[in-house]
Amino acid sequence: MAWLVLVISGLLETVWAIALDRSAGFTRPAPTAVFATALALSMLGLGYALRTIPVGTGYAVWVGIGAVGTALVGMIALNEPASLPRIVCLLLVLCGVAGLKYFH
């Protein structure tokens, strides 16, 4: 259960990062509300998961999911560059996250 909560919390990190960008410095109420809600839920989930998952592993997996998710949303939906080197780097992050889970 802790791993499922950790993955969902990592995905919520992507949500709050994109909402933070869209909030335009907290001047737009709807994205600001999404940011605050997703941030709180993400942190609560991370805290719950760290009850049973070691902090180094849990935090690295959480950050990895959030970073890869945010970068993918940027490339797919926000017209950020999707070059081969960037995609290879994201795959390396995913391999690291999978390795941390596998060797846990």
The domain ranges of the chain are 2-102
pLDDT tens readout for residues 33-85: 999 999 999 999 999 999 999 999 999 999 999 999 999 999 999 999 999 99
Res 20: pLDDT? 97
Q: Rounded to an integer, what distance in angstroms lies between the CA atom of residue 97 and that of residue 90?
A: 11
Q: Rounded to an integer, what distance in angstroms lies between the CA atom of residue 46 and that of residue 41?
A: 9
Query: Which pLDDT band, with edges at 50, 70 and 90, does 101 fall under?
Result: confident
* 42 contacts: CB under 8 Å, gap ≥ 6: 9, 10, 12, 13, 15, 16, 62, 66
